[in-house]
Amino acid sequence: MLSKLIPRHQVNTIYDIDLQQLQNEGIRGIITDLDNTLVGAKAPYATPELQAWLQKLRKSGFQVVIVSNNNKMRVTKFAQPLLIPFIYRAKKPTTSAFRKALTLMNLKAEHTAVIGDQMLTDVLGGNRMGLYTILVQPISPADEGFFTKMVNRRLERAALSFMKRQDLS
């Protein structure tokens, strides 16, 4: 079970992801989380830097879908101006939203990466589907909701500590 929490790759931010390496690995699609992955949890819109990165993804031939556990209003308000398909109330780490995202992109799991800031939602869900998982550091941990802060992050720290002791990370 713990192996499903280990991402294939870890970076500080989305901007540290080597897009050429992803292409070399056969990745053609990106499923990305929204809050604390693309922008802070309370940021309503994309920053100019994020808009440029998303444009770079498209120019490089990647398809992108936002998959978020957040509500319809939050995700719609963010994704629609960017013309990015999205799935809200995804219930990650269940696999249904990941499957739906793959269908939207018409891609197979082995050609798709998932980017997110949480091991217990993004990484676990992506690994369960056989996606290339990339864990980023949360942009704004202070803005996280109660459940994420008090439950998910504590479980993540315990899992990381255990994996480090077992030399699994």
What are the tens digits of pLDDT across the range 46-56? 999 999 999 99
147 pLDDT above the threshold of 80 = no
- Which whole-number Å values give the CA distances from 115 to 22, 42, 81, 137, 164, in the listed order? 12, 19, 21, 11, 22
pLDDT at 157: 66
Q: Which residues share a beta bridge with 113?
A: 30, 132
List Cβ neighbours of 134 (8 Å cut-off, separation of 6 or more).
Answer: 7, 8, 9, 10, 11, 17, 113, 114, 115, 116
- Residue-wise pLDDT tens digits, 47-103: 999 999 999 999 999 999 999 999 999 999 999 999 999 999 999 999 999 999 999
> Which pTM value belongs to this model?
0.86
pLDDT at 119: 87
pLDDT at 144: 55
Q: How confident is the model at residue 24 (pLDDT cuts 50, 70, 90)?
A: very high
Q: State the average pLDDT for the chain.
A: 89
Strands 9-11 and 112-116: unpaired
* % of the chain beyond a pLDDT of 90: 75
CA-nearest of 61, 69, 113 to 94 is 69
The domains located in the chain, with CATH, are 2-165 (3.40.50.1000)
- Residue-wise pLDDT tens digits, 98-146: 999 999 999 999 999 999 999 889 999 999 999 999 999 999 755 656 5
